Each structure stands twice: as structure tokens, then as C-alpha cells.
Amino acid sequence: MVESALVDWSRLQFALTAGYHWLFVPLTLGLAVIMATMESLYVVTGDEFWKKTTKFWMKLFAINFAVGIATGIILEFEFGTNWSNYSWFVGDIFGAPLAIEGIFAFFMEATFFAVMFFGWEKVSKRFHLAATWLTGIGAAISAVWILVANSWMQHPVGMEFNPDTVRHEMVDFWALVLNPVAISKFFHSVFSGWMTGAIFVIGISCWYLMKKRETRFAMASIRVAAIVGIIGTFAVMLSGDSSGIQAAKYQPMKLAAAEGLEEGGPRAPFSIVPGVEIPGMLSILATHDLDGYVPGINNLLDGYTSPDGVQHPSAEEKIARGKRAIEAFGQYRTLQASDPAAAAEARRVLEENMAYFGYGYLTSREELVPPVGLIYWAFRVMVGVGGALLLLMFVVLWAERRGRLPQMKWLLWASLLAIPLVYLAGQAGWIVAEVGRQPWVIEGLLPVKAAVSSVSVGAVQTTFFLFVVIFTLFLLIELRILMKAIVTGPQIENE
Amino acid sequence: MRNPLRTIYNFYVEGFRNMTWGRELWWLILLKVIILFAVLRLFFFTPTLAGKSEEQRIEHVGNQLTNQ
């Protein structure tokens, strides 16, 4: 049996690494769109002001990119070392999208990134603009493949388990790519990046206004960023709605945990905070129907019949079927050479119960419930902060259009303080997505405790602390370079 | 007619040569890549299945998944 300390440390290390990686990705995605919009204004108007404005934000984009680059590679190291069972078990499903991402991202970024930074005076305006847009589009396309792989873990489709190779094999590439969870997750993640980029630009521009410098630059940047941010936030809301529907269909325990919903049913209420509920709202959000049935935690554990007549087995039944699948898998492996007929029968039992394979590793029904408190509050932080930031962007845009923004000190401070908040909302979103799917690495097929490698706890602890020290140092270096660039400023008004 | 490969090569070389603030970032990237691959990957993140043949990997993971 795998030590629980090993599972906890491996999981904590992965969470920390992924969380750290996600500090840089959303700003890359969002800032790319903002600077490309600014450069488009330069090409359309011919006004040098927009060129200098673009160049300044491009500089901050490069700093963020330089520090963020390769932070994702650590995750791949961890797959091989700490999660070898998982890495082998998922097979091509995970390898193919990541390989495409690696090759595609490398060539796209190496080409267009270079034109963007080295090509200002060497290529035509329009070619340069195309390179800037393509850098942003390339970053978003990179995200597609990562999110396709992640979504397969949330809702495994387009694959079959091969007991001979102990791997999953892709049988339908398009089912994998067009996984509805992947589509929602892609738009939700990319547009949350737009929000991050917008709040970052608005916050820094407001700092210039507080310091009474670079006023034209700051006001123009705020205008572009607020529009991008508002569009992004509405897209985040739409894709979030779609994610809610997907969670209700494919990961009902995640949804029940995010709502702290113990007993479900039709007209399920939505909890704003504990004790304050909107009747029927959860049913509307999860099924787009006031009378839609939403199972609660207890219903999912006890088993229930949904309104369409489908019987959903209890936790105990799923665990029993999972154990049958694992036992049949073991028998198939041992009997293959000596008794082909018995092996064929074992394979039939395995295939019959494969959907519950992962449940066989669980010892109690309680293991199926993710940490409710953490997910409940993370969801509220994500939605609450997101809503507040949308309001902030509307107010900032209104004040900028009226020319009142430089005098509204409280709004300038609020915008500056919004920068850490947008990161908080992004991290909270990933907590909902990833902690919410616990105990699963692959929904229903592999729990975290069966996915870890048999390495020593000490080894995982060592790399955990090593990672904390090294990457905190890198983060501090980035912040120092970033601050230096911001304090120096675009210097447009000094020329 | 100019060789397109030569043009691309010169584009990169001149770009790197004329860098100002970007130089600091490239040192940072280089330092990070060295730490990642020459230290972390080499000494701390050895793949658990490294050095095993395909059959040995199947055997290893199969045993891990059936003996828990």
C-alpha cells in the first residue's frame, strides 16, 4: 500500500508547480492581445504614440515570458519521476497533445517572437503586426493542447484501455480534441488570461496616474485594456456557465462539493455564502432548467435514479465493481500464457467493469468526497472577485472616457490593488477545477494514490523544497526586473 | 539574389547583438535552463521507468496497479 505521506507530498508538489506555472501563462495570453490591439492602432492610424505604447507593454510581456518559460517543464519531470504509474497508464492520450504542444509552441514562438522583438525596423509594419498577433495566437493554441490533455483527465473520451500494454490507446482523436470539457476549459482559461492582462495594464497605468506621469500613455492603455478585459470577462462568464453544465454531467461530485450540497434534487438552491441561498438557481446553472435534478453529495454516495430513469450506483457498488475489474486485470495478466480461455474470461470481466476501475483502489465511500470547504470558498472567491473586477473595469472605463480618472484617487488605488486579486481569482479557479476532481487523477479510472510512483517521501520532500527556494528566487528576480521597467516607464512624454 | 537562410541567420544574429534590456532576460533564461536540465533533471528527477525495456515497464506498472 502506498504511504499517504507520499501521496500528499507528491500532490502538493504538483499543485505548487502547476500554480506557479499559472502565474505566468494568463498574463502572456492577455497581454499578447492587448499589445497586438495597440499595434493594430499604430498600423491603422500611423501614430508613433501607439508604437511606443506597444513597445513598452511588449517589454513587460517579454519579462513575464522569460521567467515563465520552461516552468511547465518541471511538471513533465514530475510526471516521469513521481507519477510514473499515471504516465504509463494514460499512454498516448497525454503524450500526443503534449508533444504537439511542445513542437508547435517552439516553432511558432521562436519564429514570431523573434520577429516581434528584432523586427521593428527590419520588416514591414504589417508583417510585424502579423507576427505580434501570431505570437498571441500561438500562445493560445499551445494552451489548447495542454487543456485537451487536462480535460481528458476530467472526462476521459476517445480512448480504450489495452491490458496487454497496461496503457490507454487513442481510438478517436477528434473525440479527444472536441471533448466538450476541453472546449469550455479552453475558452474559460484563455479569456481569464484576457482579464489578467487587462487588470495588469489598468493597475500599472493607474500607478502612473497616481504619480502624475505618462498621462496620455496611461489613459490610452487603460482604454484598450478595459475594453479587452470587459469582453474577456463576459466570455469567461459564458464559458463558466458551460463548465457548470459539463461538471453537472461528468463530474457531479465536483459540483456538489463546490456548492456544499449534501442533499440534491430538482430546484436545487445556489448558495451565495453559508445560510444565504437562491432557491432553484443551482438547477438553472447546472441544467438550464429550474426543475433540473442536481444530485447532492449524499445522493452520489448512496446512489440515485435521475429523472431520465438512469440508475446511478452507490459508492459501495462502484468500489465493488472496481475491485472486480482490478482482480480481473491481475488474472488476465497471470493466466494469459497458461490458460487462454480463462484469460479471455478475465478480460471480459475487466471490460465489463472498466468504467469503475479506479474505484477499486478506494477503501471507503468517504474517499470519494473532495475537500468541500476549500472548493466551496475557492469557487466563491473566483466568482466574487471576477464580478468585482468586471465592475471595476466598467467604472475605470467610464471615468477614463469622462477624463475624471486621474482625480479619483480611490479608483486608482483600487485598480492597483486589483492586480493581486486577479491572480487570486485565477488560482482559485484552478483549485475548483483540480481539487474538485479529487480523489481522481483520471475521473473514475485512476485515483491519485494509485497514480504515484513508489519513490521515497524524502525524495519528494527534497525536490519540493528545492523547487520552492529556486522558483521563489526566480519570482523575486522577475519582480525586480518588472519593477525596474515600470519605474523607468515608456518615457513617451520625455521625448 | 540573397540566400534566404543567410538572411534569416543574419536577422537573428543582429537581433541578439543589438539587444539592450533583453540581454538580462536571456541570461535569466539560460540560468533557468541550466538549473532545470543540468541540476534538477539530472540529479533529482530521474524517471522511475528509465533504463527499463518496454516489457519491463509493462510488468512494473502492471504490478503496481494490481498489487495495491
A205 and A76 fall within a common domain: yes
Q: Is residue A445 part of a domain?
A: no
Find the range with the poorest average confidence among A33-37, A83-87, A254-258, A416-420. Answer: A83-87
A218 and A145 fall within a common domain: yes
- The mean pLDDT of A457-483, rounded to a whole number, is 90
Q: Which of A472, A474, A471, A437 is nearest to A11 (CA)?
A: A437
- The mean pLDDT of A292-321, rounded to a whole number, is 95
Cell matching residue A183: 472546449
Dist. CA A85–CA A453, nearest whole Å:
6
- Residue range A408-435, pLDDT digits in tens: 999 999 999 999 999 999 999 999 999 9
A493 has pLDDT over 80: no
Answer whether B42 touches A (CB < 8 Å).
no
A137 and A186 fall within a common domain: yes
Percent of chain A clearing pLDDT 90 (strictly above): 79
A60 and A138 fall within a common domain: yes
A109 and A60 fall within a common domain: yes
Q: Is residue A440 part of a domain?
A: no
Answer whether A45 touches B (CB < 8 Å).
no
Q: Is residue A108 part of a domain?
A: yes
Q: Is residue A385 part of a domain?
A: no
B1 has pLDDT over 80: no
Domain boundary among A361, A384, A413: A361
Break chain B into its structural domains and give their ranges. Answer: 4-67
A442's enclosing H/E stretch is strand A440-442
Q: Which of A270, A296, A299 is nearest to A283 (CA)?
A: A270
Check B61 against A63: CB less than 8 A apart. Answer: no
Q: What DSSP designation does A440 have?
A: E
Beta strand residue intervals within A224-283, DSSP E: 265-266, 270-273, 276-278
CA distance B65 to chain A (A): 7
Answer whether A2 touches B (CB < 8 Å).
yes
A232 and A294 fall within a common domain: no
Q: For chain A, what is the radius of gyration of the CA atoms?
A: 25
A204 has pLDDT over 80: yes
Domain that holds residue A60: 2-251+454-488
Q: Nearest 5°: phi and psi at A165? A: -105, -5
Cell match 487462454: residue? A340
A184 and A245 fall within a common domain: yes
Q: Which of A14, A30, A4, A45 is nearest to A425 (CA)?
A: A30
- Residue range A92-114, pLDDT digits in tens: 777 777 777 777 776 777 788 88
Cell matching residue A306: 435521475
Q: Is residue A148 part of a domain?
A: yes
CA distance B44 to chain A (A): 7
Answer whether B62 touches A (CB < 8 Å).
yes
- Residue range A75-94, pLDDT digits in tens: 888 888 999 999 999 987 77
- Residue range B25-52, pLDDT digits in tens: 888 888 888 988 888 888 888 888 888 8
Q: Which of A11, A96, A135, A9 is nearest to A431 (CA)?
A: A11
- The pLDDT of residue B19: 77
- Residue range A156-199, pLDDT digits in tens: 999 999 999 999 998 998 999 999 999 999 999 999 999 999 99
- The pLDDT of residue A404: 95
**The Cα angle at residue A337 between residues A333 and A339, in degrees rounded to 5:** 90
- CA distances (Å), A291 to each of A240, A280, A306, in order? 21, 7, 12
Q: 3-state class of B68 per DSSP?
A: coil
Q: What DSSP designation does A262 have?
A: S
Residue of B8, B27, B66 for testing the chain A interface, max A β-carbons within 10 Å: B66
A236 and A210 fall within a common domain: yes
- The pLDDT of residue A2: 66
Of A17 and B19, the structure prediction assigns the larger pLDDT to A17
- A60 and A66 Cβ atoms separated by less than 8 Å: no
Q: Is residue A371 part of a domain?
A: no
- CA distances (Å), A72 to each of A78, A108, A182, A243, A365, in order? 10, 17, 19, 24, 34
Check A455 against B32: CB less than 8 A apart. Answer: no
- Cβ pairs A/B, distance under 8 A: 103
Q: Which of A216, A226, A185, A202 is nearest to A433 (CA)?
A: A185
Q: 3-state class of A306 per DSSP?
A: coil
A239 and A314 fall within a common domain: no
Query: Residue B12 — pLDDT band, cuts 50, 70, 90?
Result: confident
Domain boundary among A361, A378, A398: A361
A231 and A283 fall within a common domain: no
Dist. CA A460–CA A17, nearest whole Å:
13
Residues of B in contact with A1 (CB under 8 A): 68
- The pLDDT of residue A122: 87
Largest CA distance in chain A: 85
Answer whether A272 touches B (CB < 8 Å).
no
Dist. CA A306–CA A314, nearest whole Å:
13
Find the range with the poorest average confidence among A21-30, A71-80, A357-366. Answer: A71-80
- Residue range A119-154, pLDDT digits in tens: 888 899 999 999 999 999 988 888 888 899 899 999
Check B11 against A118: CB less than 8 A apart. Answer: yes
**Is the Cα dihedral A202, A205, A206, A207 positive or negative?**
positive
A204 and A281 fall within a common domain: no
A488 has pLDDT over 80: yes
Query: Residue A235 — pLDDT band, cuts 50, 70, 90?
Result: very high
A188 and A275 fall within a common domain: no
- The mean pLDDT of A32-43, rounded to a whole number, is 97
> Which contacts qualify for A394-403: CB closer than 8 Å, 24 or more apart?
A394/A226, A394/A230, A396/A202, A396/A206, A396/A222, A396/A226, A397/A222, A397/A223, A397/A226, A397/A227, A397/A230, A400/A219, A400/A222, A400/A223, A400/A226, A401/A223
In DSSP terms, which residues pair with A170 in a beta bridge? A159
Domain boundary among A336, A361, A386: A361
Domain count, chain A: 2
A392 has pLDDT over 90: yes
Check A81 against B35: CB less than 8 A apart. Answer: no
Dist. CA B43–CA A336, nearest whole Å:
39
Q: Is residue A269 part of a domain?
A: yes
